[in-house]
Amino acid sequence: MITEAVLRYSNIEKVVGLCNVPIGMEMGIAKLLDVDHSRVRIDFAGLNHMVYGLDVYVDGVSVKEQVMEKLTDPENSSFVKNIEGQGWEPEFLRTLNVLPCPYHNYYYKSKDMVDKALKSAETEGTRAEVVQKLENELFELYKNPDLAIKPPQLEERGGAYYSDAAVRLITSIYNDKRDIQPVNTMNRGAIASIPNDSAVEVSCIITKDGPKPITVGDLPVPVRGLVQSIKSFERVAAEAAVTGDYNTALLALTINPLTPSDTIAKQIVDEMLEAHREYLPQFFKETVETK
């Protein structure tokens, strides 16, 4: 959504969004196949936190069928569940016939994810509280100029492989390597199911002039609607953030498929705007002007 907003509402022409989900999926598949990560490539298409693996290659040869067999083999179930976001029902995954990302759990396993979040909130605190505690600990450690180890708290923070993905991308742009990497960029016709001027997460050829999206055509029917729905949410949410229009913010949250109703959406928007009023002055312009 950030890449969408920057592309649509800023004057910055050279924009690349980066997420650690694709490289995390590559690492997981490499582990599943017991091969080095450098030999694995996945054809990615979708959106940030809403990306699918359309095909999987090892040394340039498609191994998608082999991967699907391993992911749905009951004998591998305990191993597969340790690969983040891959504990799917075998029948579902076989028929879907693409690799979901970990964030698809929120859509395909909504109740499980809510139950997990509630349990974590009761025992450890909310995700925000846990992260805030970790960051406070990290900032204290970083005050020590003699710190010479990677703090263990980083392992709990999330965002694994971000540094690997970032360095890989920067290196390829600087050296015009023209290798293939998944990034967030303007669609430009790569995914036929998404408007050309929208941000997408897709495999691209990385050049000194930026990413060149690889055309994948239409997304498969079973995943197309969900991706389009989230893209609509992203565009409306970005508009709301930039304009500070309350009604647009309410609309954005209501059309998100994870929101149960417009009434609940209104409750969330009202609560969040009040809680973060200091950081969202664009939503309170009339109040300020009236005063």
Find, among 19, 37, 18, the residue nearest to 27 by Cα: 37
DSSP 242: H
Partners of residue 6 on adjacent β-strands: none
**Cα gap 182→14, rounded to integer Å:** 16
Strand 61-62 with 180-186, pairing? unpaired
**Residue pointed to by tokens 């936190």:** 49
Partners of residue 51 on adjacent β-strands: 46
- The answer to whether 37 is a known ligand-binding residue is no
Q: Which residues of the chain have pLDDT under 70?
A: 76-86, 286-291
**Cα gap 157→131, rounded to integer Å:** 6
- The answer to whether 204 is a known ligand-binding residue is no
- Delimit the domains of the chain by residue range: 2-103+164-218, 109-160, 222-290
**Cα gap 236→283, rounded to integer Å:** 15
Residue pair 52/223 in contact by the 8 Å Cβ criterion: yes
Q: Which amino acid is at 139?
A: F
**pLDDT digits 0-9 by tens, 38-87:** 999 999 999 999 999 999 999 999 999 999 999 998 776 655 555 555 67
- Known catalytic residue: 103? yes
Q: Name the 3-class secondary structure at 274.
A: helix
Residue pair 214/204 in contact by the 8 Å Cβ criterion: yes
Catalytic residue among 103, 107, 108, 246: 103
Find, among 190, 240, 236, the residue nearest to 211 by Cα: 190
Report the CATH number of the 2-103+164-218 domain.
3.90.110.10
Q: Which amino acid is at 111?
A: K
